[in-house]
Every structure is written in structure tokens, then in C-alpha cells.
Amino acid sequence: MKSLIVANWKCNPTSLAEAKRLFNSVEKGVKDFKNVEVVICPPFPYLPMVGMASRSGVKLGGQDVFWEEKGAFTGEVSPKMLKDFECKYVIIGHSERRRNFKETDEMVNKKLKAALKIGLRPILCIEKMSQIKKGIKGFIKKDFKKIVFAYEPVWAIGTGKPCSIEKAKKMNSLFRKIMNKNVLLYGGSVNSQNARDFIKKAKFQGFLIGGASLNPQEFIKIVKNISKD
Ligand code: PGA
């Protein structure tokens, strides 16, 4: 089965020129690796530019989405807008959005439904069981299956202190009790040194990567290490 490696650029890089450079380096660097799907989630304004470049196999995703199709919602971006700019995935419920923008599980639930309705594949960030249960409230099995989950312990994000493999493995089996066949990613201080263990030992199927996704050499190395058998 293919691993899924998702780059979450967050509010980076600071210029369009840099974004183009970063995208092009990653695209070139990962194109020969098999068994891995690479997704880049840039800030919204960079989507059209990288969208045009992304015919090679690297997929695009949004970092967030709103649940309404249109209307008086200043600052929001609809699922169809993301679709139009060739996004295949969208990150929903990242802990930075929950913490800094007061996103609730109810809002996450609406976003998930809206994304699925238009055919975007949601990547739902979770840290504990209750976030899954509330996030997927009212979902039918067929839709539930399409959700990609990302286990992201808040204390591991951007700290350089990843979750231990033992704990990650334990959380993985806990989540598996309700997740069946869903794709489950790990996120939080992933780098080229620790990536393989999260796949091989803790049995995750890929990553959501912040900091290391802004360094093309490091990001490509992660993809390379994962693509080995
Ligand atoms: P990090 O971020 O890789 O910088 O820890 C992960 C994330 O926020 O998804």
C-alpha cells in the first residue's frame, strides 16, 4: 500500500518566488520514488501557481476549508474553490486552528461534511478519541471510510520532540478500534531520522509534516526513506 506524505507549509514561505522554488525542488526530488503519494498544502494564495506546476504527480491540498458554498463570510474559502484550484485533499481541524481560531468539533464536523460532498479528501487532525467521535458525528460508513486521520499530539508539533514510537504505536491501536481501514498518519516533529520507525514499528501509513516540509532536502529524504520497500 502507498504511504501518504503531506506537507503542511502553514503560513510559509514569505514570498511567491520562494514558494515556487520550494515546490519545484520537491516535485523534482520526489518524482522517481514509488509507493508514496506526496501532497503539498501551501497557503491559499499560492495554490494557483503551484497548481499549474502540479501535473507531475505531486498532489495539492488546502490547509483549511469553510463549510458553506458561498455568501457573506468574509475571509473564508469554499470547498469548490479548492476543487477549482486542483486540490485533492484538505487538512481539517489542525490543532493550530483549534487553539488560535477557536475551531470546535462542531465546526470540524461541518467542514468534513462539506469537503466530502464536493469530493475533497479530508485529513482530519486529532489528538484524542473524543475529537474523532464528535468530528464524525452523523457520518455514514461509506463517507467515514474516505477520511484520512492524522494523529498529532500538540506537544510534539514544532517542538523537535516527537512522540515516542511506543506511545505512537499504542495510540495507533487505540484509534484502530474505530477506524477500520482508514488511512492514519502521524504528525509532530517528523524528520528523516525518525520517519521510518513511525511506519515500520508504529504502523502509521504516512505523515503530516510541518517544519521539515520547508526544507526540500530534508523533505525529499523523508520521502526517500519511506519509499524503500
Ligand atoms: P511539525 O508540524 O512537523 O513542524 O511538528 C506538524 C504539523 O503541524 O502538522
Q: For residue 175, give every residue at least 6 positions away whose Cβ sits within 8 Å of its Cβ, in sequence order, or none.
A: 126, 129, 132, 149, 151, 184
User: How many of the other CB atoms lie within 10 Å of CB of 1?
Assistant: 7
Q: How far is the CA of 58 from the centre of ligand 1 (A)?
A: 19
pLDDT in tens, 110-155: 999 999 999 999 999 999 999 999 999 988 888 899 999 999 999 9
> When comparing pLDDT for 178 and 202, which is higher?
202
Tell me the C-alpha distance between 200 and 222, whole Å: 13
Of 24, 59, 55, 19, the residue nearest 39 (C-alpha): 59
| pLDDT computed for residue 34 by the predictor | 84
Does the predicted model carry a pTM greater than 0.85? yes
Q: How far is the CA of 189 from the centre of ligand 1 (A)?
A: 6
User: Does the pLDDT of residue 193 top 90, yes or no?
Assistant: yes
Q: Residue 68: which pLDDT band, with cuts at 50, 70 and 90?
A: very high
Q: Is 208 in the pocket of ligand 1 (CB under 6 A)?
A: yes
Q: Quick one: which atom of ligand 1 is closest to the CA of 10?
A: 8
Residues with catalytic roles: 94, 152
pLDDT in tens, 13-56: 999 999 999 999 999 999 889 899 999 999 999 998 876 655 66
From 123, 126, 157, 193, give the residue whose CB has the most ligand 1 atoms within 8 Å, as the site to mutate. 157
Q: Is 185 in the pocket of ligand 1 (CB under 6 A)?
A: no
Cis (ω within 30 of 0) for the bond into 153?
Answer: no
Q: Is 158 in the pocket of ligand 1 (CB under 6 A)?
A: yes
pLDDT in tens, 76-89: 999 999 999 999 99
Of 115, 108, 130, the residue nearest 81 (C-alpha): 115
Q: How far is the CA of 16 from the centre of ligand 1 (A)?
A: 22
Q: Across the chain, how many H-helices and E-strands are there?
A: 10, 8
Q: Is 209 in the pocket of ligand 1 (CB under 6 A)?
A: yes
From 96, 127, 208, give the residue whose CB has the most ligand 1 atoms within 8 Å, as the site to mutate. 208
CA-based torsion, 219, 188, 37, 39: positive or negative: negative
Residue 148 gets which letter from DSSP? E
Tell me the C-alpha distance between 109 and 138, whole Å: 9
> When comparing pLDDT for 1 and 178, which is higher?
178
Q: How far is the CA of 182 from the centre of ligand 1 (A)?
A: 21
